[in-house]
Amino acid sequence: MTRKSGLCCGSLLGLAFAFGPRATLAQDMPPDHGAAAGAPLYVQDLPVGTISVRITRPSMTEPIAGADVVGTWTTKSGGHGSATVKTGADGRAIFSEVPAGATFGAKAEIEGENLATAQFPVPAEGGTRLRSRLGGHRRDDGATGARLDRQP
């Protein structure tokens, strides 16, 4: 083996030790569904002004049906609106005809737990999907603009 190929193999071996265990550890970790929960997902398959708020148990496979979700919004001109929508069998509360450009937020109290979103702008194209899970304990630092999560 030449000195040059020995250095190359040694470098690759060093990289494998440096990054290999971390990569394996990351693969063994369960996915952090809470990181995505509550962040607004702007979609084209919903009409403009439509906001879908889905609430589930922590497993995310058990929807919470029959819960009242209160949505409130403020338009750019300062007008206010609100609506209370029950979640369906799929755990979704669908708000429709919310003015594009308005600032929207939603809240719900389920089994004694208060869930609330931060405010976020309603897009001018397409709709918005939000997801929350009952029993979520992560808190948002406010940077993402929307999170349904446990409130003290």
Q: Residues 90-100: pLDDT tens digits?
A: 999 999 999 99
Distance CA 117, CA 149 (A): 7
DSSP annotation of 44 reads S
For residue 60, the model assigns a pLDDT of 87
For residues 132 and 82, state if they share a domain: yes
Three-state DSSP class for residue 115: strand
**CATH no. for residue 43?**
2.60.40.1120
Domain holding 112, by residue range, is: 33-150
DSSP string covering 49-114, please?
T-EEEEEE-TTSSSB--S-EEEEEEE-TTS-EEEEEEE--TTSEEEE--PPTT-EEEEEEEETTEE
Number of domains composing the chain: 2
pLDDT, tens digit, 9 for 90 and up, residues 25-40 = 344 433 444 445 567 9
For residues 64 and 50, state if they share a domain: yes
Q: Which pTM value belongs to this model?
A: 0.67
Tokens linked to 142: 């406010």
